[in-house]
Amino acid sequence: MKKFIPFVFPLIAICLVLFLAMRWYNSKTSREGTQAKIAQFDDTTQIDNLSASDSSRLKHPAQDEKSVDLSGAGDAKGQVRYDVTNGKVYMTLTASLPDAGKSIYQVWFKDVNGESKKKAFTLVNAKGGYVGSAAVSADMLPFEVVVSKQKTADDAAMGATVLSGVIQKDSNSPS
């Protein structure tokens, strides 16, 4: 037994070093994989309002455009027409919603697998219903489009959800 005692301390030290190295490697690889998804819609996410010509292009169906039907409670219904071009998702939302009265309808973009969200734009009551359009980076795909009823445009918290739908990442769209 006395001839093995000199090897015990170095063996314990080697095991400790291996344990710490494995722990460091696992923490480093797990952080790198989730770092891009931690705050998908944060303060740095830029959402552009579309010009009238860009949004009118999406109101009339084209062959390469995609659409997502929005689901909700009651007689509220809507649709998002979108096109992924030049690294951006250009979209127009049209909805048939009850009169908001003194409230307004706002559109929020929400992370599908998380809780991060960002106010995108306010819907405007036009002849054919409520309409709004925006563009956001295609790196945000997939994300959920949520229409909520707000008391004022300055509300920082999302109100009651009226309509929602998910814009998926297309397999042949550029990323």
* Residue-level pLDDT at 54: 54
Q: What is the pLDDT of residues 60-90, one digit of tens each?
A: 445 567 889 998 878 889 999 998 888 888 8
Residues composing the chain: 175
Q: Tell me the pLDDT of the chain (175 aa) as tens digits.
A: 778 888 888 999 999 999 999 988 888 776 554 444 444 666 666 676 665 555 555 444 455 678 899 988 788 899 999 988 888 888 999 999 888 788 899 999 998 888 888 888 889 988 888 999 999 888 888 899 999 988 877 777 888 889 999 998 875 544 4
Distances (CA, A) of 17 to 4, 7, 28, 61: 20, 16, 16, 62
Residue ranges of the alpha helices (H) in the chain?
A: 5-34, 52-59
DSSP class of residue 51?
P
56 sits in the region (left: phi over 0; alpha: psi -120 to 50; else beta) called: alpha
**CA pair distance 145, 109, nearest whole angstrom:** 5
Predicted structure pTM score = 0.65
